[in-house]
Amino acid sequence: MKDEHMISIAMDLSQVPDGAVTAERHGMDNGEKCFSAEHLTSRTDGKGRIEIFRVMPGIEVSFHEYLAESMVFHHKASDHVLEITHCRAGRIGWEMGNGEAVYLGPGDICIHSMKSCADSRMRMPLGYFEGASVALDLNELGRQIPDLLKDTAFDAGILYERYCMPGIPVGVPSGAEAQRIFGPLYEKDGPARNSYYKLKAIELIMYLEELDPQKSDTLTGYVSQQTETVREIRDLLVSDLSRRFTIEELSRKYLMNTSTLKSVFKAVYGMPVASYVKEYRMREARRLLVQTEEPVALIAQKVGYGTQSKFTQAFKESTDMLPTEYRKTYRNFAGGKT
């Protein structure tokens, strides 16, 4: 059964052609440029949509929905533009131009300059992503300090030195503060929307002023070569579900120590190797039950279970339904897709 977010994203993107990423801009009159997507071009194996709102001079809020496994974006390399991205659903990773890679799961945020991601490849390990970004033009905010920040110690230069100058993305794990800022953004609509975005953007700036990446818990960044190796491992694991590999076997085959293999795999796919393979087996079993007439015993064998009874037990633990019940219930669901 597909994640409800994935179904929602697929419906939202039903009118977007395959291979395209559409961008809709709001609040930019008289030919104003969108600084967070200036000279933006993209290439993808799926499709996506970006909706961008100009909140005030120097601040833009955007919403992203992607149904793809990878995307390549090119935009202006602006080292003075700081982008903060929040993951609402799915998983997303950036392979930055400097060889760094950082992956986000639900609730996580990534803070980086738009110079570091100007020619980055984005990966969606689960095949979809929904999230929001706030872009801050620190030059503009330094010239025109927002009224709500004039009575504070706001200094755009400090944010630049802390987050842009190092050239390294900062990943912050899911927490109450980030959720309080980003969570309500997805729900707000109507005429007061822009004012609400403005308040949340100011709240985010104050959060960034207090955050010290050197003293806070942050997500581990990895070398892009490591994440590429882990994707190769994943492809091997799902290429023949009847085969089973130990971590030690994979470690020897791909020349990666077991500790690194386990930590990088979990960072990219959001769960340990064994859990991912089990979930993939169940996903494939659900697909075969709905889209084919194959006997349950054969499906059990195809997805790597030695006996039908072991498969039935695992399937019921995963779905709270017997395979035969699932087939009967979902045969006509969503045109036979799970």
The residue assigned the tokens 């009847």 is 242
Q: Are 16 and 124 part of one and the same domain?
A: yes
Q: Are 156 and 303 part of one and the same domain?
A: no
Residue ending a domain, among 195, 219, 243, is 219
In a domain, 86, yes or no: yes
The residue assigned the tokens 């169940």 is 282
pLDDT of residue 332: 62
| CA gap 293, 53 in Å, rounded | 48
Q: Are 230 and 307 part of one and the same domain?
A: no
pLDDT tens-digit map of 196-251: 999 999 999 999 999 988 888 888 888 888 999 999 999 999 999 989 999 999 99
What would the two tokens of residue 270 be?
């959001």
Q: Are 69 and 214 part of one and the same domain?
A: yes
- CATH number of the CATH domain containing 329: 1.10.10.60
Least confident range of 2-11, 15-24, 309-318: 2-11
- Assess contact for 106 and 135: CB atoms under 8 A: no
Q: pTM for this one?
A: 0.84
Q: How far is CA 47 from the centre of its chain?
A: 14
Number of domains, the chain: 3
Q: Are 105 and 64 part of one and the same domain?
A: yes
Q: Which residue intervals of the chain are DSSP H helices?
A: 4-12, 138-143, 156-159, 176-182, 193-210, 224-239, 247-254, 258-269, 273-291, 296-302, 308-319, 323-330
